[in-house]
């Protein structure tokens, strides 16, 4: 057993190295091919980056919910994508009412803020209900039990919304102020994208300050480190967990709102794919880590936007954008091979596993 | 709900009201989600009650039963009154919905809030039906409370009889199809069913029959158990073997007795059981959370497709039987290749990395890039059915045996694996990787073997899938399959092989049989998963129970080499 | 010792049980006044006449099946819920838009001897394995939304003898679209996008083939996933080829995203846009907003005089019954499929003195294949001998106003070709 142990270890190591080299070679070869073809000018590459960043910041905002909950409970809240959906979907009814009455264009800031507030409130409400009904009773259970409950809750929420509001989609009304582009530093940026980027950065900074600077935030971090010890220190563990859920969900609600003003369409299944992507982003950045979620989201968005064209087109692969998730997930695996707990992940996995 | 105990003793009436309102919320939910109206045409007992109406009635009964709070004491009248109060609260909630629906046009938001639904809820009277709703609900609540008052020995047969009647009403289409031909069958069918459902007479018969049997069992059941317990151990074992053989015989007869549809359902259950058994090795034994298991299912199916198809994408036109070993080998290699990069990744990081692999495989087989070889979205067609001699596995009735044989084989292999040195190493890794490594277990080997063997079983299931359908499309390999397989091994009881079977019967078989819920399948599925995790987090057939049973068998003096006992097992590892 | 014997016993039992499964082909059946080589359905007086649907009514693609199912339901309601004095009973199965769902649904339906005919399936991948199963049980099925050419190709084989469709073959529509772009708009450079569905991939493929044959250049053949939302990077890539026209025969959700985002990508401001009937619906206007103005769609020719009003009436009924607009484009095809079946049943059904009805399965199948000049919502239907019934007249429409309320095919979107 011992001899073959050493032998096989080296083979797997070789394979791992071969894997890394092949991926890197493909990336480099493809990049050279694409760049050498000179099909795209500098401003086009900036477009790709901006598109990627705006998509990425939505991923990042959703990823914050995964990260908050994971950080404190070590639990993947699989239904988080549906929390995002519920906010965007419910706020649609408010936005549509504003749109019909013309209030949206007369007082765009007030009405958009109201829509945002409804989205955040609904998402928070749904997440708190979820926590109370589905997750709290399972807090002492083995790790996979809450995961399955979360998967069940995810289906339940999707099809509840479908039953309530129909299986078609709804379209948010256009807002005149958000149409067109702004020229920022010589680059034309879509207004919606600028709003999304700024809002996302602000919210994440606020959240970071909340977690790092306030007393509640400190309590949450303490609970995340060690529940028993935190309880002994007089911290209300339940309350901290509820706040983590609420804050994460309100970020998802805000993401839902931003998603809706960029993409307009909402429907009952809209949360699933962004949910998976945000989960990926959270892991990419180091799950449980707030700046990590932001970084992971941006990374993922940019890879999805730039990757297919930069790495694949140069290789002569047809329809590269069909393969953008292949790129995203391969990059994820690459990052995890080099840094098994994500880009900014703390080295606490070994302790927790 | 432990904290509720204090409240119960203090204010039972308030709590009855609360219970009633919660169930009222359920009733309103069921109505708004559209179930009441959709199922209004679906008769459970012809001319008596439709499924659409049965749902709110059941919520009222449940409210009455729960709101009665028998433990809180008080006279029988008080208990009944509390039940009526809880029931009335459901009525009030429904009445509020009816009143709201007639005042504003709720349909701008809730698509199911149609006039038809309000008519159904208010017995066709609209707002003027509100007193009737509340009164009726209070009455039904009292009935529920009365059930709570009965002693357990009287209540259980009643509940069983009610459940059976509802069940027969729900499964009527299936039962009627099964009883379609033959004189005796026709006679039975006509006795119980009329047209589209259980007849009133049939319902009464089922109810009485189940009630009688159940009552007798309540009286005599303990005596039978006692008799069984007093038998000598060898006789008990004989009895077990006989019942096992009987079960096998029944299984073998399924296609003959039940026809193509049930066979098809069993083929699907078997396919998912195979997947579950494979994933169980990875997740249940070795504790590696894999959310991309569908990758191997796809690899198996596509390998069979490529090797055996007589259509344009076939490369070898092999027979199924010569393709199967290749399929298993290819899946095994795929398991190793996909396993190696994620060896160092732990816990939930592993989950998302494997999920990525599942998606990568699906996108690749769908892609235009590989379309010339794999068919892209148009799939691979013309996959012939397997043949043995002159016997063709033509339809579900024949494929059933193929699936059954594969399951038996895989169960056998998995059982031997679990009890082997490797199996114990897996469990050690599952319990604690670091300690396992310190004990001299080679993590790389052990983990890779788990991935590879799990992948092989998944590939085998994919092979059966390919011949069952006869054509494969990328759309069949969604993430949903991975999730479903994971859910079924958890629901069955993690690490337990009978659990996998029970889990796939429950999560694959039952939804197939309850296809009438078509549009609400996932709603019910989701709710069932959440409830299951609350009520039985250890699964329907947890591994520990099995272990105890095996342990008992060992003590009796089981022949053959007895393996070193494995330490007490946690039902679900981390 | 004991253990090793069980597998052998199992194999033996398996072979024994399997051996009796060489069932001979069903002989010609004579029931009542009808003799039919495939079988006869007998419906007792007053008993319901069963029609089945097999569509995707659950899961992420549910809107497609819900939409076509509603088409069938409205067709039944238009008959007053009765045919030949029997109440029409609609039962059905979810197919999940995948092959295995198609197999399971078809197997379940085929076990039910009361089913006269079926409407379905939605996705071509369901019909490929499912239709033969149904026909083996003598159930003829009419699909409202399968468009894959192979389903009605001359080499489809006898197992598909019971399969027809009111959805039109991708071949026709893709060709007309390419001809319009090349000959009528006189554009020479086009790009295509599909979403990985057999429908869109087929259409985009036929378009490319025809367009190249005519002498045009296809600058890019892209693909997305139906759940994608951010199309801008992909569109930026397309922009590099400077196409005059982007052809994306996909569905409403992703199509709406593309339509909106094209205008936001530099280099595509003047590119013309074209979709297919997969998003020819008022709902698409909602999805794409103002960006839909000027866009082209290929769709069956709904001439406003004859068929337009009928469709409007249909839409009103739909709104009244379901409280929402149609969810997908194939509800009129489903409506026509159901009515075609009803017409064929009326043609072949025989009654005996007691008022029982008899329907020969082969006769019903032949009557459906013989459908000629049938006036439906989607045009005038005539079935060929491989089961293609859709009106091959494809027209091109241009959207003038993006207000869903002004939806009136012919005027808006305006018919521009032929």
- What contacts B485, CB < 8 A, 6 or more positions away? B272, B275, B276, B279, B293, B294
- Confidence class of residue B572 from pLDDT cuts 50, 70 and 90? very low
pLDDT at A7: 55
pLDDT at A20: 83
Residues of chain C scoring pLDDT < 70:
1-28, 59-60, 301-308
**Chain B residues whose beta carbon lies within 8 Å of the beta carbon of residue A74:** 348
Nearest-neighbour CA in chain C from B429: distance (Å)? 30
3-state helix/strand/coil string of C227-286:
CCCCCHHHHHHHHCCCCCEEECCCCHHHHHHHHHHHCCCCCCCCCEEEECHHHCCHHHHH
Structure tokens at B246: 């009987």
Residue A190: which of C233, C264, C290 has the nearest Cβ?
Answer: C264
- What is the bridge-based pairing of β-strands C49-55 and C86-94? parallel
Q: For C58, which residue in chain A has the nearest alpha carbon? A: A159
Contact B324, B460 (CB under 8 A): yes
Mean predicted confidence (pLDDT) in B9-38:
86
Residue A261, preceding peptide bond in cis (omega within 30° of 0): no
The reply to whether C28 touches chain B by the CB within 8 Å rule is no
pLDDT score of B463 more than 80: yes
The reply to whether C398 touches chain A by the CB within 8 Å rule is no
**Chain A residues whose beta carbon lies within 8 Å of the beta carbon of residue C227:** 269, 272-273
Structure tokens at C16: 């024994």
Of C218, C221, C232, C233, which to mutate for an interface test with A (greatest number of A Cβ within 10 Å)?
C233
Q: For B352, which residue in chain A has the nearest alpha carbon? A: A280
Q: Beta strands of B172-319 (E only): which ranges? A: 193-194, 197-198
Flag if A159 and B434 touch (Cβ within 8 Å): no
Does the ipTM surpass 0.95? no
Of C107, C160, C199, which to mutate for an interface test with B (greatest number of B Cβ within 10 Å)?
C107
Residues of chain A scoring pLDDT < 70:
1-10, 346-353
- What is the bridge-based pairing of β-strands C350-351 and C140-143? unpaired
Mean pLDDT of chain B: 83
Nearest-neighbour CA in chain C from A301: distance (Å)? 10
Of C63, C192, C230, C262, which to mutate for an interface test with A (greatest number of A Cβ within 10 Å)?
C230
pLDDT digits (tens, 9 = 90+) for B489-503: 888 888 888 889 999
Structure tokens at B312: 């344009």
With vertex at residue B131, the alpha carbon angle to CA B128 and CA B132, rounded to the nearest 5 degrees, is 90
Flag if A322 and C225 touch (Cβ within 8 Å): yes
C150, C151, C157, C158: CA torsion to nearest 10: -170
Q: Is A295 left (phi over 0), alpha (psi -120 to 50) or beta?
A: alpha
Chain C, residues 296-355, CB within 8 A of chain B, namely 322-324
pLDDT score of B174 more than 80: no
pLDDT score of B515 more than 80: no
Flag if C323 and B378 touch (Cβ within 8 Å): no
pLDDT at A62: 92
Nearest-neighbour CA in chain C from A269: distance (Å)? 7
- What is the bridge-based pairing of β-strands C86-94 and C82-83? antiparallel
Residue C59: which of B379, B465, B522 has the nearest Cβ?
Answer: B522
**Chain A residues whose beta carbon lies within 8 Å of the beta carbon of residue B532:** 148, 152
pLDDT score of B232 more than 90: no
pLDDT at C303: 53
**Chain C residues whose beta carbon lies within 8 Å of the beta carbon of residue A187:** none
Chain C, residues 79-108, CB within 8 A of chain B, namely 89, 91-94, 97-100, 102-105, 107-108
Flag if B357 and A287 touch (Cβ within 8 Å): no
User: Which of B70 and C150 is assigned the larger pLDDT?
Assistant: C150
A215, A219, A221, A227: CA torsion to nearest 10: 180
Chains that touch C (3 or more CB pairs under 8 A): A, B
The DSSP code for A260 is H
- Confidence class of residue B568 from pLDDT cuts 50, 70 and 90? very low
pLDDT score of B21 more than 50: yes
Residue A283: which of B337, B352, B364 has the nearest Cβ?
Answer: B352
Contact A123, A250 (CB under 8 A): yes
C269 burial class (0-12, 13-18, 19+ CB within 10 angstroms)? exposed
pLDDT score of B34 more than 70: yes
Flag if B369 and A318 touch (Cβ within 8 Å): yes
Residue C97: which of B368, B394, B475 has the nearest Cβ?
Answer: B475
User: Which of B358 and B572 is assigned the larger pLDDT?
Assistant: B358
Residue B471: which of C20, C57, C129 has the nearest Cβ?
Answer: C129
In whole angstroms, give the CA distance from residue B335 to residue C269: 48
Three-class SS of residue B71? Answer: helix
- What contacts B151, CB < 8 A, 6 or more positions away? none
pLDDT at B564: 36
Of B533, B536, B539, B570, which to mutate for an interface test with A (greatest number of A Cβ within 10 Å)?
B533
Give the N- to C-terminal CA distance of chain A in Å, as an integer.
27
**Chain A residues whose beta carbon lies within 8 Å of the beta carbon of residue C196:** 322
pLDDT at B110: 87
pLDDT at A8: 55
Chain B, residues 403-432, CB within 8 A of chain C, namely 404-405, 408-409, 412
Nearest-neighbour CA in chain A from C254: distance (Å)? 10
Residue C236: which of A48, A167, A190 has the nearest Cβ?
Answer: A48
The reply to whether C121 touches chain B by the CB within 8 Å rule is no
Flag if C107 and B260 touch (Cβ within 8 Å): yes
CA distances to A71, A199, B572 from A254, rounded to whole Å, are 20, 9, 36
Nearest-neighbour CA in chain B from C356: distance (Å)? 15
Main-chain phi, psi angles of C194, to 5 degrees = -125, 170
Structure tokens at A67: 């990260």
B177-181, B514-518, C8-12, C294-298: least confident range: C8-12
pLDDT score of B359 more than 80: yes
The reply to whether C212 touches chain B by the CB within 8 Å rule is no
3-state helix/strand/coil string of B141-209:
HHHHHHHHHCCHHHHHHHHHHHHHHHHHHHCHHHHHHHCCCCHHHHHHHHHHEECCEECHHHHHHHHHH
Nearest-neighbour CA in chain A from C240: distance (Å)? 7
Measured from the Cβ of residue B398, the count of other Cβ atoms closer than 10 Å reads: 22
B181-195, B331-345, C104-118: least confident range: B181-195
Flag if B377 and C201 touch (Cβ within 8 Å): yes
User: Which of A197 and B554 is assigned the larger pLDDT?
Assistant: A197
Of B269, B297, B379, B518, which to mutate for an interface test with C (greatest number of C Cβ within 10 Å)?
B518
> Which one, of B419, B389, B393, B391, lies nearest residue B406 by Cα?
B393
User: Which of A338 and B453 is assigned the larger pLDDT?
Assistant: B453
In whole angstroms, give the CA distance from residue C220 to residue C240: 9
- What contacts B112, CB < 8 A, 6 or more positions away? A163, A164, B31, B32, B33, B34, B37, C323
In whole angstroms, give the CA distance from residue B460 to residue B272: 11
Q: For B364, which residue in chain A has the nearest alpha carbon? A: A323
> Which one, of C331, C389, C393, lies nearest residue C140 by Cα?
C389
């Amino acid at each position: 057993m011992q001899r073959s142990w050493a032998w096989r270890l080296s083979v797997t190591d070789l394979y791992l190295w071969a894997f890394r080299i092949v991926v890197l070679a493909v990336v480099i070869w493809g990049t050279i091919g694409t760049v050498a073809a000179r099909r795209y000018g500098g401003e086009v590459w900036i477009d790709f980056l901006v598109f990627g960043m705006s998509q990425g910041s939505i991923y990042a905002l959703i990823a914050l919910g995964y990260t908050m909950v994971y950080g404190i409970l070590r639990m993947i809240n699989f239904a988080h994508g549906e929390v995002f959906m519920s906010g965007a979907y419910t706020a649609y009814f408010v936005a549509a009412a504003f749109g019909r009455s013309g209030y949206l264009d007369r007082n765009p800031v007030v009405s958009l803020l109201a829509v945002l507030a409804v989205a955040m409130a609904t998402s928070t409400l749904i997440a708190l209900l979820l926590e109370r009904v589905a997750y709290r009773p399972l807090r002492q259970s083995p790790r996979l039990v809450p995961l399955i409950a979360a998967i069940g809750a995810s289906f339940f929420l999707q099809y509840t919304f479908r039953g309530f509001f129909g299986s078609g989609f709804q379209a948010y009304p256009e807002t005149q102020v958000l149409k067109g582009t702004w020229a920022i530093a010589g680059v034309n940026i879509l207004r919606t994208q600028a709003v999304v980027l700024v809002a996302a950065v602000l919210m994440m900074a606020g959240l970071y300050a909340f977690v790092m600077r306030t007393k509640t935030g400190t309590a949450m971090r303490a609970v995340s480190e060690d529940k028993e010890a935190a309880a002994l220190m007089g911290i209300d563990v339940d309350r901290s967990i509820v706040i983590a859920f609420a804050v994460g969900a309100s970020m998802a609600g805000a993401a839902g709102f931003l998603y809706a003003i960029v993409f307009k369409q909402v429907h009952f299944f809209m949360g699933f794919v962004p949910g998976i992507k945000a989960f990926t982003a959270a892991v990419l950045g180091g799950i449980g880590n707030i700046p990590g979620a932001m970084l992971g989201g941006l990374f993922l968005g940019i890879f999805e936007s730039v990757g297919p064209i930069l790495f694949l087109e140069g290789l002569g692969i047809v329809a590269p954008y069909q393969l953008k998730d292949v790129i995203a997930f391969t990059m994820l695996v690459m990052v995890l091979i080099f840094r098994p707990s994500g880009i900014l992940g703390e080295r606490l996995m070994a302790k927790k596993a | 709900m432990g904290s509720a105990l204090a409240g119960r003793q203090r204010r039972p009436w308030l709590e009855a009201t609360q219970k009633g309102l919660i169930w009222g919320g359920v009733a309103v939910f069921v109505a708004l989600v559209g179930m009441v109206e959709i199922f209004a045409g679906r008769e459970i007992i012809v001319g008596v009650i439709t499924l659409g109406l049965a749902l709110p009635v059941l919520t009222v009964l449940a409210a009455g039963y729960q709101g009665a709070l028998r433990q809180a004491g008080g006279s029988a009248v008080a208990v009944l009154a509390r039940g009526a109060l809880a029931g009335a609260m459901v009525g009030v909630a429904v009445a509020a919905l009816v009143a709201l629906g007639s005042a504003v046009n709720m349909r701008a938001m809730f698509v199911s809030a149609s006039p038809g639904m309000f008519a159904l809820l208010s017995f066709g009277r609209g707002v003027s039906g509100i007193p009737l709703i509340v009164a009726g609900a209070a009455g039904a609540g009292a009935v529920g409370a009365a059930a709570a008052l009965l002693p357990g020995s009287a209540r259980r047969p009643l509940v069983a009889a009610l459940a059976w009647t509802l069940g027969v009403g729900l499964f009527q289409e299936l039962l009627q199809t099964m009883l379609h031909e033959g004189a005796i069958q026709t006679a039975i069918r006509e006795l119980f069913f009329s047209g589209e459902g259980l007849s009133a007479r049939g319902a009464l018969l089922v109810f009485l029959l189940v009630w009688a049997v159940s009552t007798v069992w309540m009286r005599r059941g303990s005596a039978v158990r006692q008799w069984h317990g007093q038998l000598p151990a060898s006789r008990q074992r004989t009895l077990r073997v006989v019942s096992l053989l009987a079960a096998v015989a029944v299984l073998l007869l399924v296609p003959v007795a039940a026809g193509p549809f049930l066979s098809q359902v069993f083929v699907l259950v078997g396919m998912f059981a195979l997947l579950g058994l494979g994933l169980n090795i990875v997740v249940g034994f070795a504790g590696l959370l894999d959310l991309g298991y569908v990758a191997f299912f796809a690899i198996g199916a596509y390998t069979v497709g490529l090797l055996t198809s007589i259509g344009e994408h076939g490369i070898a036109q092999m027979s199924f039987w010569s393709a199967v070993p290749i399929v298993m080998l290819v899946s095994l290699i795929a398991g190793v290749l996909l396993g190696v990069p994620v060896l160092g990744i732990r816990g939930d990081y592993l989950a998302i990395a494997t999920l990525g692999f599942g998606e990568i495989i699906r996108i690749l087989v769908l892609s235009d890039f590989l379309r010339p070889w794999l068919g892209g979205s148009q799939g691979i067609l013309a996959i012939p059915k397997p043949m043995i001699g002159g016997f063709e596995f033509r339809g579900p009735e024949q494929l059933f045996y193929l699936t059954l044989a594969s399951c038996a084989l895989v169960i056998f292999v998995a059982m031997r694996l679990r009890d082997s040195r490797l199996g114990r190493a897996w469990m050690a890794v599952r319990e604690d990787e670091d300690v396992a490594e310190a004990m001299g277990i080679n993590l790389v080997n052990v983990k890779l073997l788990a991935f590879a063997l799990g992948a092989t079983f998944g590939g085998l299931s994919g092979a059966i899938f390919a011949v069952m359908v006869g054509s494969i499309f990328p759309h069949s390999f969604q993430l949903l399959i991975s999730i479903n397989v994971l859910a079924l091994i958890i629901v069955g009881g993690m690490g337990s092989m009978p659990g996998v079977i029970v889990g796939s019967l429950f999560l694959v078989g039952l939804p197939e049989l309850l296809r009438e819920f078509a549009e609400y399948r996932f709603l019910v599925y989701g709710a069932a998963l959440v409830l299951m995790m609350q009520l039985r987090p250890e699964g329907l057939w947890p591994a520990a129970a099995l272990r105890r049973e095996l342990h008992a068998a060992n003590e009796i003096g089981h022949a053959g080499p007895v393996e070193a006992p494995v330490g007490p097992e946690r039902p679900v590892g981390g | 010792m004991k253990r090793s014997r069980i597998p052998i016993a199992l194999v033996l039992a398996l072979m024994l049980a399997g051996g009796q499964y060489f069932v001979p082909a069903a002989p010609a059946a004579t029931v009542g006044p009808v003799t039919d080589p495939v079988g006869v359905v007998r419906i007792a007086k007053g008993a319901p006449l069963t029609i089945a649907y097999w569509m995707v009514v659950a899961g992420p693609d549910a809107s497609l099946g819900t939409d076509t199912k509603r088409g069938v339901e409205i067709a039944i309601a238009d008959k007053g819920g009765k045919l030949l004095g029997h109440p029409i009973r609609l039962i059905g199965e979810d197919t999940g838009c995948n092959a295995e769902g198609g197999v399971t649904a078809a197997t379940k339906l085929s076990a039910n001897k009361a089913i006269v005919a079926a409407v379905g399936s939605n996705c071509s991948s369901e019909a490929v394995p499912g239709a033969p199963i149904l026909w083996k049980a003598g159930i003829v099925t009419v699909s409202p939304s399968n468009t894959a050419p192979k389903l009605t190709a001359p080499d489809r084989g006898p197992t598909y003898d019971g399969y027809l469709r009111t959805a039109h073959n991708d071949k026709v529509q893709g060709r007309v679209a390419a001809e319009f772009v090349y000959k009528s708009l006189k554009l020479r450079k086009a790009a295509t996008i599909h979403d990985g569905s057999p429908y869109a991939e087929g259409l985009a493929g036929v378009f490319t083939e025809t367009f190249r044959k005519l002498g045009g250049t296809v600058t890019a053949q892209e693909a997305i996933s139906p759940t994608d939302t951010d199309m801008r990077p992909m569109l930026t890539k397309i922009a590099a080829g400077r196409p005059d026209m982007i052809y994306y025969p996909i569905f409403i959700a992703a199509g709406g995203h593309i339509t909106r985002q094209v205008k936001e990508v530099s280099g595509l401001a003047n590119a013309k846009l074209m979709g297919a009937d997969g998003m020819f619906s008022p709902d698409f206007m909602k999805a794409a907003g103002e960006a839909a103005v000027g866009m082209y769609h290929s769709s069956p020719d709904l001439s406003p005089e004859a068929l337009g009003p009928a469709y409007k009436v249909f839409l009103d009924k739909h709104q009244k019954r379901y409280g929402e607009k149609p969810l997908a484009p194939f509800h009129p095809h489903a409506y026509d499929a159901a009515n075609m079946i009803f017409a064929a049943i009326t043609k072949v059904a025989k009654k005996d003195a007691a008022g029982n009805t008899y329907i020969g399965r082969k006769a019903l199948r032949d009557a459906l294949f013989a459908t000629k000049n049938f006036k439906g919502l989607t045009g005038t239907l005539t079935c060929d001998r491989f089961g293609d019934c859709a009106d091959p007249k494809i027209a091109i429409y241009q959207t003038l106003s993006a207000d869903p309320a002004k939806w009136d095919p012919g005027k808006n979107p305006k018919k521009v070709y032929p």
